[in-house]
Amino acid sequence: MAIITLTTDFGTDDPYVAAMKGVILSINPDANIVDICHTIKPQSIAQAAYILSTTYHYFPKDAIHIVVVDPGVGTERQAVLLITPHGFFLGPDNGVLSDVAEEALPELETIALTNPRFWLSPVSNTFHGRDIFAPVAAHLSLGAPPREFGDLIPTIATLPIPGPNMGEDGVLIGRVIHIDRFGNLITDIKQADLPRGRLFVEACGHIIDDLSSSYEEGEELLAIIGSSERLEVSVQNGSAARFLRAKVGDEVKVGVNKSSLKGGLV
């Protein structure tokens, strides 16, 4: 069955997600619709990009991913389809797909959705998720050729992709980009960014003297390479966010642990 995923800021209390699913199933009753996330902070393009970028690799290469975080709906911003080796992506051209596009290069093809033949009629000015993205995804899942949705375009909007900086003292300076339900602080520091050697991590004024290999090893406050291959700061059976009063955007530093440095919390 064709897989269509949904990532939106619509929440689950309103009728919006259900309307999109109804539109998809009216065109392709056999579509297998998977909710990725509907509780993106309203209008948070960066958060939607993060959630999408940590999930889409796990889906089949022919899955169709719809992303609707779309503060500019009804204005001149384009609606696009990205064809990549990792799947098909539909969304507004507002930067929410810039991670996806960068990773797909040079095999990326981008199409501007301009052919109203595949849309609901009339198209509202406030809900392109239902009126454009859902029906286009459904037609795509039935085998409609992508070029029929519109013309190839050379480029899409990009967001600055966050990443750590190297400080003057050889200490890597990153940031918290997501706090999960367990209170884990997920940073923009990837495993490949880490210096060699025994490391220390500094977060919110606390020093962690080494990386742990599981949540139940190490001290109460610990640093670990998490499941998205990013550096995370965690508290064993607790919430690092609450313990450290941390928030998205806070700095997290990583450096090589000199023997003179005492471990533990300071």
Give the interface with a second copy as residue ranges (CB under 8 A): 1, 3, 5, 9-16, 18-23, 25-26, 29-30, 32-39, 42-43, 51, 54-60, 63, 71-75, 124-127, 130-131, 178, 180-182, 213-217, 224-228, 232, 237
Q: How far is the CB of 226 from a second copy (least distance, A)?
A: 5
Contact indicator for 206, 243 with CB cutoff of 8 Å:
no
Q: How far is the CB of 59 from a second copy (least distance, A)?
A: 4
Task: Indicate the pairing of strand 185-190 with strand 64-68.
Answer: unpaired
Contact indicator for 65, 31 with CB cutoff of 8 Å:
no
d(CA 90, CA 6): 10
Q: How far is the CB of 263 from a second copy (least distance, A)?
A: 21
Closest Cα partner for 232 from 209, 215, 256?
215
Contact indicator for 34, 8 with CB cutoff of 8 Å:
no
H or E element, residue 172 = strand 172-179
Q: How far is the CB of 154 from a second copy (least distance, A)?
A: 25
Question: Exposed, middle or buried: residue 115 (CB in 10 Å: 0-12, 13-18, 19+)?
Answer: middle
d(CA 241, CA 27): 44
DSSP result, 122-155: SPPSS-HIIIIIHHHHHHHHTT--GGGG--B-S-
Q: How far is the CB of 48 from a second copy (least distance, A)?
A: 11
Q: How far is the CB of 167 from a second copy (least distance, A)?
A: 27
Closest Cα partner for 136 from 148, 124, 152?
148
